[in-house]
Amino acid sequence: AQSVSQHNHHVILSEAASLELGCNYSYGGTVNLFWYVQYPGQHLQLLLKYFSGDPLVKGIKGFEAEFIKSKFSFNLRKPSVQWSDTAEYFCAVMQGGFSGGYNKLIFGAGTRLAVHP
């Protein structure tokens, strides 16, 4: 079974600092990768996703992620964070091949980002 590792459980940054959140997955085959964000008191929402093609994926709110197959990584980046980026960030990989053909998301444990003004 696939697994997802997020290296940092808590990250604290000042506004305008650059952000990189690590994500590694275990599966060596074709993968579909996601980053979700959960702002305080709100639901999980999709930041960006990778299925194929350009390994540098751009998402909403200035976020991007780079898929590096050789490193089994899908790290999330933002050049300059804002206070409003304070949230929890989840990396997820789509796992398929179940009976009935359905797919399911395997999540990492999440990274809590706090941005100070």
Partner 1 sequence: DAMVIQNPRYQVTQFGKPVTLSCSQTLNHNVMYWYQQKSSQAPKLLFHYYDKDFNNEADTPDNFQSRRPNTSFCFLDIRSPGLGDAAMYLCATSRDGLAIYNEQFFGPGTRLTVL
DSSP 71: G
Interface ranges with partner 1 (CB under 8 A): 4, 9, 32, 34, 36, 41-46, 49, 51, 90, 94, 96, 98, 100-110
**Nearest distance from C-beta of residue 79 to partner 1, angstroms:** 25
* SS3 state of residue 38: strand
* CB nearer to partner 1: pick between 39 and 83: 39
CA 78 to chain centre: 12
Q: Is 85 helix (H, G, I), strand (E, B) or coil?
A: helix
103, 94 contact by CB (below 8 A) = yes
Shortest approach of partner 1 to residue 80 CB, angstroms? 27
Q: Which is nearer to partner 1, 19 or 36 (CB)?
A: 36
* Least separation in angstroms between CB 84 and partner 1: 19
- Nearer to partner 1 by C-beta: 13 or 110? 110
Judged by beta carbon, residue 30 or residue 82, the one nearer partner 1 is: 30
Nearest to 89 by CA among 23, 28, 33, 26: 23
Answer whether 111's CB lies under 8 Å from 11's CB: yes
Smallest distance from partner 1 to CB 52, Å: 9
